[in-house]
Amino acid sequence: MKIKYLICIVFTTVNLYGCGVNENNGITLEGKWKVIDWTYYSYENKGLDQKEIEEMDDTFNNLIFEFTPENYIKTNKANLLPYLDNKRFNIISPFLNFEVDNQRYAIRNRDGKKFFFIMNNIILQIEKIENHQNSKIIIKELEKFKTEIKAPKELAGFYSIDEVDTAPQITGYQSRGDGKAFIINSFKYSIIDFIDYSAIKDNKVLHISFIIDKQGRVQNAKITPHTSEINDDIIKTITSFPEFVSGIKDGNKVNTKISFELRLISK
């Protein structure tokens, strides 16, 4: 299977960047970036076979991206990435989201040292190897969440999100279409933005669950297996969401449980 067919179109519907972003750290987008690692993720329990992994390696090993001051993106593997090579990019947010031919991509600056290029369901860890003069597009650093991981709270029963009549909604946000899908996807793709992919040691499937209680607060976030090196990243992302309007069942506010799996395959 060719690499481009492995890339599905998924984007976050609600972002958490209002929770805090460090100001200018001097790291600019323009210049050359080398791929040093890749991670594939799926919320659909879709894995990769050995041939697909080898194709990933062939595509991303020694891959270099260049972002020019004229807003063009170039690569040293044009034959493998024709949809990106020598294409004009348009910045659509300072955090840093951009578009190429109406396809959205993102680069996340985790701590001023670790940078991740989000190509839909493929995450590339990249390092800058050359600066360009007249660079001006700052890659703002995502601030680490200050949320403390809370102990589980005893709750008197709950309904799964499939069972409620009206799904919880983030206060101040209007869902687009299916409210249940909207809220689940908001969590799923915000999680992807805030994982430290360099910490992933092997392939894994994580079972993620939490409850939005009757007061609209996220409670009892849980991930199995418990030993995953990125559990704290995920739980802090989930619990850093703003307050919700609680789920409704038979006209009453209820505790609503949300659960899903995240599969990660790392180089």
Predicted confidence band at 229 (pLDDT cuts at 50, 70, 90)?
confident
98 and 63, same domain (yes or no): yes
DSSP state of 17: G
Q: What is the pLDDT of residue 128?
A: 96
Q: Is the pLDDT of residue 198 over 90?
A: yes
166 and 138, same domain (yes or no): no
Q: Which long-range contacts (CB under 8 A, 24 or more apart) does 96-105 make?
A: 96/29, 96/137, 96/139, 96/140, 100/73, 103/9, 104/11
Residue 184 domain flag: yes
Q: What is the pLDDT of residues 53-98, one digit of tens each?
A: 999 999 999 999 999 999 999 999 999 999 999 999 999 876 788 9
Q: What is the pLDDT of residue 1?
A: 35
Q: Give the residue from 142, 175, 195 where a domain finishes.
A: 142
Residue 174 domain flag: yes
Three-state secondary-structure class, residue 143 = coil
Predicted confidence band at 24 (pLDDT cuts at 50, 70, 90)?
very low
Residue 149 domain flag: no
Q: What is the pLDDT of residue 7?
A: 35
The residue range of the domain holding 234 is 159-266
Q: Give the residue from 88, 108, 142 where a domain finishes.
A: 142
User: How far does CA 81 lie from the centroid of its chain?
Assistant: 22
88 and 172, same domain (yes or no): no
Q: What is the mean pLDDT of residues 149-166?
A: 86
> What's the total number of domains in the chain?
2
Q: Is the pLDDT of residue 2 over 90?
A: no
107 and 222, same domain (yes or no): no
127 and 250, same domain (yes or no): no
Residue 151 domain flag: no
Please say whether the beta carbons of 242 and 146 come within 8 A. Answer: no
**Considering the chain, what is the average pLDDT of its residues?**
86
Residue 147 domain flag: no
Residue 120, CA distances (Å) to 10, 24, 37, 123, 207 in order: 6, 26, 16, 8, 21
pTM here?
Answer: 0.86
100 and 208, same domain (yes or no): no
Q: What is the mean pLDDT of residues 35-52?
A: 94
Q: Is the pLDDT of residue 19 over 70?
A: no
Q: Give the residue from 114, 142, 170 where a domain finishes.
A: 142
3-state helix, strand, coil in the chain (%, to 5): 15, 35, 45
Q: Is the pLDDT of residue 26 over 60?
A: yes
Token pair for 221: 């976030």
